[in-house]
């Protein structure tokens, strides 16, 4: 029991925060704690959840992909293009997923085989893929999506919107993928130490490229959800949302240095961010002021453990001994 | 060892600068020259396609666009040299521009003293970044991503969805952007002055040398006895102050300042730094390179607009330029590594 508590401490903290945020939100507006409101609000965050799950294995491997929002735009524009041209969804969706996965593969190949820093590569891709999206969509964007493509946004399972079900299914898939498959184990191994993983005969390059491909495909899927939600696709879709997605991943307990993090954490963090934003929207807090809370949450959740440690050190009678451990932690390579 | 191509060597922070051997220095000079050559090639290409590119008026507008980006890139370079990042610069610009111009509009008696307030704001916000990264040990991407939201949220909260309009601003601020000195925009001179000041400081002051020392090898710097926290905080404070000044310039140029000023600029700034050959691994690169990177970016933007090329191709081209720039960096770094390794081990293969 205690071990379980310790293993899931970050997730428990997230659950507590979600409950607190929900309580706070319901004091702001009597309409918050209403299943219809909650579920329709949840729909809006499905897009972010899908991208966050795509980003999750990449970050676990100690890399980053900031181009995902642009990949989403390409995905949404492709979906819309297929729709207006009368391609059946069953054919179009796999094609879109393959195309966006290939965009991810390009990132992955540059990072692994080109030995380039992932931040710089995906910074370039952030612009380039956005360019591709504009190129495909034209300046006006694409409207007039056929109804068969909009099934996801207009159907419910009981009272739950289909897109929310999709997000939960994806969460389950990633939980299995990262917890129960060799891909997952390899990802954690690579994140902890790429060199050690290589020496342990982990196919580091393939696993890395695989993670990027998966991230691309998830963004493509998110692009389809986007089209369902807004019934149109434009080149500037989801511009700037990667910061929110990265916040969700990191807040979910995935170390940006790689090697740790759980799928359930990512899901809970997205729910938490969603709850807070919905609550603040109800309280008429303007969108940009909401970022104040999101930023504080991000810094607080990561910085708090270390801050507590520092305070404890300062108050402890055995300061001398602790200062030595402090120094060891401070050593940039050891830490 | 199959060394030069393995991940471990590529990850080794800024070995190039630490080695400082002739081969390394030569490779770095080549890297800097590479940016210049690229810039010249761009100019030749644009001129050959549209003669309007090489007119004095147009070049001035390129320089004007590059000026603000160059200052911002100089600030970002300080942090990148230490192997960290500052994603919050756009928000620092936004906070400074709004708060300072709001005050300048309400109390005109303060005059140019408000610039001091800007410096103070940059100092405090930069220091917060630095403390989060060092004392609390939060990885820089995460910490500054957080403060990006935090600072932007603050200015939005402070502004209450109102604008500082150009009419409220004192004349000295309004006249800053259109002013010309010796035929060039005041911004170009300010940028030149700031870039040189920061460049000289980096080269001559112990503060600057420590940035390189720490960025090349944080661990060695620590065991050498350098106060590593202070170095990184110093870099963030420098970047914060410079971002604050950029905020003022940007605000004075735009005139009507809302709480969204300069949001998203961090990507452009990072692009300039990377194109300018500042190693994202830390420890190597120069302010002048970063400023040149800003000029390259501005040239690309300007030239493609002149050609009537769509936004989509501009983004594609810019993205490609960033990836190409880091690819060249990686190549230079590997070349330097293999050269020095051969020498130190005394094996030729």
- CATH code of the domain containing A166: 1.10.3470
Q: Is residue A1 part of a domain?
A: no
What's the confidence (pLDDT) of residue B1?
36
Q: B15: exposed, middle or buried (C-beta count within 10 Å: 0-12, 13-18, 19+)?
A: buried
Q: Which residues of A touch B141 (CB under 8 A)?
A: 64, 119, 246, 256
Q: If you measure CA to CA, which chain A residue comes closest to B274?
A: A120
Instruction: Find the range with the poorest average confidence among A51-60, B142-151, B243-252, B322-331.
Output: B322-331
Q: Write the residue in A114, A299, A330 that is nearest to B143 by C-beta.
A: A299
Same domain (yes/no): A190, A291: no
Same domain (yes/no): A188, A236: yes
Q: Write the residue in B149, B271, B311 that is nearest to A134 by C-beta.
A: B311
Neighbours of B313 (CB within 10 A): 14
Instruction: Kindly report, residue by residue over B89-115, the tens digit of the pLDDT.
Output: 999 999 999 999 988 888 877 778 889
For the segment B135-146, the average pLDDT, to the nearest whole number, is: 88
A166 lies within 8 A of chain B by CB: no
Distance from CA of A54 to the nearest CA of B (A): 18
A286 lies within 8 A of chain B by CB: yes
Q: Which residues of B touch A139 (CB under 8 A)?
A: 310
Q: Is residue A4 part of a domain?
A: no
Same domain (yes/no): A143, A217: yes
State how far Cα B333 lies from the chain centre.
Answer: 21
A314 lies within 8 A of chain B by CB: no
Distance from CA of B184 to the nearest CA of A (A): 31
Q: Which domain holds residue A274?
A: 10-285
B192 lies within 8 A of chain A by CB: no
Q: Is residue A235 part of a domain?
A: yes
Distance from CA of A161 to the nearest CA of B (A): 30
B82 lies within 8 A of chain A by CB: no
Distance from CA of A314 to the nearest CA of B (A): 13
Instruction: Kindly report, residue by residue over B323-336, the tens digit of the pLDDT.
Output: 888 888 788 777 77
Same domain (yes/no): A211, A323: no
Same domain (yes/no): A34, A75: yes
How many domains would you assign to chain A? 2
Same domain (yes/no): A279, A297: no
State how far Cα B25 lies from the chain centre.
Answer: 22
Distance between CA B336 and CA B317 in Å, rounded?
28
Q: Is the ipTM of this complex over 0.85?
A: no
Q: Give first-to-last CA distance, chain B, whole Å.
A: 11
Token pair of B60, please? 């001035």
Same domain (yes/no): A206, A296: no
Q: If you measure CA to CA, which chain A residue comes closest to B334?
A: A115
Q: Is residue A2 part of a domain?
A: no
In chain A (335 residues long), the average pLDDT of successive 10-residue segments reads 75 89 83 79 90 97 94 96 93 96 97 89 91 89 88 82 93 96 96 94 95 97 94 86 87 89 94 88 78 84 81 72 48 44
Put simply, the chain A residues between 200 and 239 with a CB less than 8 A from any chain B CB are: 204, 235
Q: Which residues of B touch A195 (CB under 8 A)?
A: 6-8
What's the confidence (pLDDT) of residue A327?
45
Contact between A235 and B161 using a beta-carbon 8 Å cutoff: no
Same domain (yes/no): A206, A107: yes
Q: Which residues of B touch A237 (CB under 8 A)?
A: none
Distance from CA of B134 to the nearest CA of A (A): 8
Distance from CA of B122 to the nearest CA of A (A): 18
A108 lies within 8 A of chain B by CB: no
Q: If you measure CA to CA, which chain A residue comes closest to B316?
A: A128
Same domain (yes/no): A203, A309: no
What's the confidence (pLDDT) of residue B97?
94
> Residue A150: which of A70, A215, A232 has the closest Cα?
A232
Q: If you measure CA to CA, which chain A residue comes closest to B222?
A: A331
Q: Is residue A51 part of a domain?
A: yes
Q: Which residues of A touch B145 (CB under 8 A)?
A: 243, 246-247, 250, 295, 298
Neighbours of B321 (CB within 10 A): 21
Token look-up 């460049």 returns B199
Q: Write the residue in B7, B137, B315 that is nearest to A194 by C-beta.
A: B7
Q: Which residues of A touch B3 (CB under 8 A)?
A: none
B161 lies within 8 A of chain A by CB: yes
Token pair of A236, please? 């500037």
A299 lies within 8 A of chain B by CB: yes
Q: Is residue A153 part of a domain?
A: yes
Q: Is residue A5 part of a domain?
A: no
Q: Write the residue in A129, A298, A332 that is nearest to B149 by C-beta.
A: A298
Q: Which residues of B touch A130 (CB under 8 A)?
A: 315, 319
What's the confidence (pLDDT) of residue B339?
67
Q: Is the pTM of this model over 0.90?
A: no
Contact between B145 and A247 using a beta-carbon 8 Å cutoff: yes
Q: Which residues of B touch A117 (CB under 8 A)?
A: 280-281, 326
Residue B343 has pLDDT above 70, yes or no: no
Instruction: Kindly report, residue by residue over B278-320, the tens digit of the pLDDT.
Output: 888 888 888 999 999 999 999 998 998 888 887 788 888 888 8
Last residue of a domain, one of A285, A304, A319: A285
Same domain (yes/no): A23, A156: yes
Listed by start position, the domains of chain B span 31-334
What's the confidence (pLDDT) of residue A28?
78
Same domain (yes/no): A14, A141: yes
Q: Is residue A19 part of a domain?
A: yes
Contact between B323 and A124 using a beta-carbon 8 Å cutoff: yes
> Residue B320: CB partners within 8 Å, gap ≥ 6?
A124, A128
Is there a contact between B104 and B173 (Cβ–Cβ < 8 Å)? yes
Q: B196: exposed, middle or buried (C-beta count within 10 Å: 0-12, 13-18, 19+)?
A: middle
> Residue B74: which of B96, B94, B89 has the closest Cα?
B89
- β-sheet bridge partners, residue A142: A233
What's the confidence (pLDDT) of residue A30?
78
Report the relative pairing of strands A160-161 and A156-157 from DSSP bridges.
antiparallel
Residue B216 has pLDDT above 60, yes or no: yes
Q: Which residues of B touch A113 (CB under 8 A)?
A: none
Instruction: Kindly report, residue by residue over B30-72, the tens digit of the pLDDT.
Output: 778 888 888 999 899 999 988 888 888 899 989 999 999 999 9
Compare B87 and A328 and report the one with higher pLDDT: B87
Residue B132 has pLDDT above 90, yes or no: yes
Average pLDDT, chain B: 84
B3 lies within 8 A of chain A by CB: no
B139 lies within 8 A of chain A by CB: yes
Contact between A291 and B271 using a beta-carbon 8 Å cutoff: no
Q: If you measure CA to CA, which chain A residue comes closest to B269?
A: A123
CATH architecture of B31-334: Orthogonal Bundle (1.10)
Put simply, the chain B residues between 103 and 132 with a CB less than 8 A from any chain A CB are: 132
Q: Angle, to 10 degrees, between the axis of helix A162-180 and the axis of helix A182-192?
A: 70
Same domain (yes/no): A232, A314: no
Q: Write the residue in B136, B139, B281 that is nearest to A256 by C-beta.
A: B139
What's the confidence (pLDDT) of residue A182?
96
A64 lies within 8 A of chain B by CB: yes
What's the confidence (pLDDT) of residue A319?
54
Contact between B150 and A257 using a beta-carbon 8 Å cutoff: no
Neighbours of A307 (CB within 10 A): 14
């Amino acid at each position: 029991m205690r071990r379980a508590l310790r293993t899931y401490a970050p997730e428990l903290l997230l659950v507590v925060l979600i409950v607190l945020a929900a309580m706070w939100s319901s004091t702001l507006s009597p309409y918050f704690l209403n299943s219809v409101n909650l579920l329709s609000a949840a729909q809006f965050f499905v897009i972010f959840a899908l991208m966050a799950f795509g980003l999750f294995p990449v970050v676990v491997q100690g890399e980053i992909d900031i181009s995902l929002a642009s990949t989403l735009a390409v995905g949404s524009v492709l979906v819309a293009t297929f729709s207006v041209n009368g391609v059946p969804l069953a054919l179009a969706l796999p094609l879109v997923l393959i195309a966006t996965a290939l965009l991810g593969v390009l990132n992955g190949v540059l990072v692994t085989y080109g030995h380039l820093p992932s931040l710089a590569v995906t910074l370039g891709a952030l612009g380039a893929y956005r360019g591709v999206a504009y190129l495909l969509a034209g300046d006006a964007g694409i409207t007039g999506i056929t109804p068969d493509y909009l099934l996801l946004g207009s159907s419910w399972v009981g009272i739950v919107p289909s897109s929310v079900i999709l997000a939960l299914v994806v969460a389950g898939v990633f939980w299995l993928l990262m917890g129960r498959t060799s891909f997952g184990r390899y990802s954690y191994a690579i994140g902890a130490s790429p060199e050690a993983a290589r020496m342990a005969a982990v196919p580091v390059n393939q696993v890395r490229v695989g993670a990027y491909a998966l991230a691309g495909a998830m963004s493509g899927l998110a692009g389809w959800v986007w089209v369902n939600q807004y019934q149109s696709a434009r080149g500037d879709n989801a511009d700037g949302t990667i910061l929110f997605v990265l916040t969700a991943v990191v807040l979910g307990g995935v170390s940006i240095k790689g090697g740790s993090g759980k799928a359930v954490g990512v899901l809970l963090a997205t729910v938490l961010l969603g709850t807070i934003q919905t609550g603040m929207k109800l309280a008429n807090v303007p969108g940009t002021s909401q970022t104040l809370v999101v930023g504080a949450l991000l810094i607080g959740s990561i910085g708090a453990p270390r801050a507590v440690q520092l305070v404890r050190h300062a108050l402890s009678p055995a300061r001398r001994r602790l200062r030595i451990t402090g120094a060891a932690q401070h050593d940039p390579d050891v830490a | 060892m199959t060394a030069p191509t393995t991940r471990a060597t590529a990850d080794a922070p800024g070995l190039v600068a630490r080695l400082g051997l002739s081969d390394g220095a030569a490779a770095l000079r080549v890297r800097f020259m590479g940016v210049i050559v690229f810039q010249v090639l761009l100019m030749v290409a644009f001129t050959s396609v549209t003669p309007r590119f090489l007119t004095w008026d147009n070049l001035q507008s390129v320089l004007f666009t590059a000026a603000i980006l160059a200052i911002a890139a100089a600030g970002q370079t300080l942090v990148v040299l230490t192997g960290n990042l500052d994603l919050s610069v756009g928000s620092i610009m936004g906070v400074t521009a709004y708060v300072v111009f709001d005050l300048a509009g309400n109390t005109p008696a303060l005059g140019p003293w408000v610039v001091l307030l800007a410096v103070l704001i940059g100092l405090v916000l930069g220091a917060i970044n630095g403390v989060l990264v060092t004392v609390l040990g939060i990885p820089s991407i995460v910490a500054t991503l957080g403060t990006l939201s935090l600072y932007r949220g603050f200015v939005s909260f402070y502004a209450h969805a109102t604008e500082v309009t150009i009419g409220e601003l004192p004349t000295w601020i309004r006249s800053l952007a259109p002013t010309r000195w010796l035929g060039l925009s005041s911004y170009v001179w300010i940028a030149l002055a700031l870039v040189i000041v920061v460049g000289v400081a980096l080269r001559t002051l112990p503060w600057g040398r420590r940035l390189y020392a720490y960025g090349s090898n944080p661990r060695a710097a620590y065991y050498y006895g350098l106060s590593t926290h202070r170095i990184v905080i110093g870099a963030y404070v420098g970047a914060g102050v410079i971002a604050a000044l950029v905020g003022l310039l940007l605000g004075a140029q735009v005139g009507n300042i809302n709480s969204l000023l300069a949001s998203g600029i961090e990507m452009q700034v990072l692009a300039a730094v990377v194109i300018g050959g500042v190693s994202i691994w830390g420890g190597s690169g120069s302010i002048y390179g970063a400023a040149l990177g800003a000029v390259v970016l501005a040239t690309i933007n300007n030239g493609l607009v002149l050609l009537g090329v769509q936004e989509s191709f501009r983004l594609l081209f810019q993205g490609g330029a960033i990836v190409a720039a880091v690819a060249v960096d990686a190549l230079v770094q590997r070349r330097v590594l293999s050269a020095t390794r051969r020498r130190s081990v005394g094996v030729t293969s």
